Amino acid sequence: MRISLGPLLYFWDRQTVLDYYNKIAQLPVDIVYLGETVCAKRRELRGDDWLNLATMLEDAGKEVVLSTLSLIEAESDLALVKRVCQNGSYQVEANDMAAINLQKPGTPFVVGPHINTYNSSTLAQMSALGARRWVMPLELAGENLKAMQAQRPVNMETEVFVFGRLPLAFSARCYTARAHNISKDDCGFCCREYEQGLLLATREQQPFLVINGVQMQSARTFCLVDQLPELAQLGVDIIRLSPQLQGMTEIIDLVDKVRNQRLEPALAVVSLKRHMPTGPCDGYWYGDAGMDLLGKDFLDANLQEKGL
């Protein structure tokens, strides 16, 4: 299985982003998804900056894919997506049907996690349009994947999100601006203050969601690293890690070791928990509530921590 680094979901300053990807170039990641997928107003990096990063990563031996916006509202958003789709050098991850519509006929593309590919018929449709890879939608379960793998079109790679806070929803509203009591038009890029998003807790202090501008994420970190042997068995080609600022080097190193069978998944998850600010979840994989935790290795690790 190859490891991919999904698109950066947070808004970091320019130098932080450049340093981050320079570091990624040295790590055992095979595929890097680049570009702004959350908010069109975020422009610390311009189109050329992303393309320069793409060249640098390609020179380091990585496959580069350009990801498109997930919510396209204005004509200017559409123009941005169009430029990405017609870049001519790199494959595109479509996160809205507009991006698929803007592909030159016959150009291979990636169906992103925000396109609802929930069944084999839809996957066949995507394949006929030129898709060569699909990222499983986040709320699908292992048994759904199994059924879809059994009928997978030829020349279609399967990618599964295995580590990171889950992007759960998008809105026209900016919730970071709302929390600052300012309007979206005058946001002052306040989301830059929160490099891993802004925590939303319940009134009894339970960490619940993470606000990331117009996107809502899970507070818990989704983790399927304990299931990598199962994913390999299901014929998954690529496993996706979602970028975070803290601990990425170790996260990638641990996942790399597990996929190469140099580390037991159960040991890896114990170390990975350090990099989950409010703990793990994996319920979607088992067809359960996404926030739940059902992986046996995690539950065993919890018991150990409690000294039971």
> What is the smallest separation between the CB atom of 125 and another protein, expressed in angstroms?
5
Tokens of 199: 């925590």
Binder of another protein out of 16, 52, 107, 125 (CB under 8 A): 125
The yes or no reply on residue 232 touching another protein (CB under 8 A) is: no
Q: With H, G, I as helix, E, B as strand and everything else as coil, classify residue 201.
A: strand
- Can residue 234 be called a binding residue for another protein (CB under 8 A)? no
Q: Which class for 79: exposed (0-12), middle (13-18), buried (19 or more C-beta within 10 A)?
A: exposed
**Does the protein bind another protein through residue 72 (CB under 8 A)?**
yes
Q: Are 30 and 56 in contact (CB under 8 A)?
A: no
Instruction: Select 102 or 248, whichever has its Cβ closest to another protein.
Output: 102
Which CB sits closer to another protein, 62 or 133? 133
97: enclosing H helix or E strand = helix 97-101
Choose, by CB under 8 A, the member of 4, 218, 221, 244 that binds another protein.
218
List the one residue from 22, 55, 89, 101 that touches another protein (CB under 8 A): 101
Structure tokens belonging to residue 61: 């031996």
How many whole angstroms separate alpha carbon 30 and alpha carbon 151?
A: 26
> Is 105 near another protein (CB under 8 A)?
no
Select 52 or 87, whichever has its Cβ closest to another protein: 87
Residues of this chain, 157-216, that bind another protein according to CB under 8 A: 166, 168-175, 178-179, 183-185, 198-206, 208-209, 211, 216
Contacts of 59 by beta carbon, 8 Å cutoff, 6+ apart: none
